[in-house]
């Protein structure tokens, strides 16, 4: 349920409890004991409902706090990443070494360091592969060198 709807329901429960309390305070001495007991039972029920509704509010707020924390952590982490257009991956430099992360997994909020191979980077989570163009350039350069030497 939307958090605003839960809060409105809880407020309605509290209003009901207040209304019942007003009725009880307005009771004249002439009212029967049975009517008083009925009003008190209604009051207890309204307060119990409000208590449950506020527990729901607490759960929703806790859920939202967790989501905000998760997004803040992600924003902070993303601010430390740069996009490497050559490979099409995010990367960061840690102690002089580049750590590259899977772009596909990143869109799902996961930070999966890529496994480095000669020709490509591979994600061990989703098996996505990212080509390393410099590997193919090195092969072409070697072929040209071999042709010249022949």
- Tokens 């449950």 map to which residue? 52
Tokens of 77: 């982490």
3 state DSSP class of 106 = helix
Closest listed residue to residue 129, CA positions, set 146, 148, 112, 110? 112
> Closest CB to Zn ion among 23 and 120?
120
Q: Which of 20, 50, 89, 105 binds Zn ion (CB under 5 A)?
A: 105
Binding flag, residue 125, Zn ion (CB under 5 A): yes
Distance CA 60, CA 1 (A): 9
Structure-token pair, residue 49: 């409902």
Q: Is 104 in the site for Zn ion (CB under 5 A)?
A: yes
**Which of these segments, 26-34, 48-56, 127-135, 136-144, binds Zn ion (CB under 5 A)?**
127-135
Nearer to Zn ion (CB atom), residue 10 or residue 100: 100
User: Does the footprint of Zn ion cover residue 128 (CB under 5 A)?
Assistant: yes
Residues of the shown chain interacting with Zn ion in the complex, contacts defined by CB under 5 A? 102, 104-105, 112, 123, 125-126, 128
């Amino acid at each position: 349920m939307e958090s605003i709807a839960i809060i409105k329901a809880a407020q309605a429960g509290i209003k009901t409890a207040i209304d019942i309390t007003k009725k009880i305070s307005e009771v004249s001495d002439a009212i029967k004991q049975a009517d008083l007991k009925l009003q008190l039972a209604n009051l207890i029920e309204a307060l119990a409902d409000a208590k449950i509704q506020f527990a729901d509010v607490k759960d929703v707020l806790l859920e939202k706090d967790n989501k905000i924390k998760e997004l803040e952590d992600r924003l902070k982490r993303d601010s430390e990443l740069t996009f490497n257009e050559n490979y099409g991956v995010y990367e960061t430099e840690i102690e002089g070494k580049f750590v590259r992360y899977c772009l596909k997994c990143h869109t799902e909020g996961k930070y999966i360091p890529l496994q480095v191979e000669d020709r490509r980077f591979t994600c061990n989570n989703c098996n996505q592969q990212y080509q390393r163009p410099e590997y193919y350039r090195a092969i072409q350069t070697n072929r040209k060198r071999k042709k010249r030497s022949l």
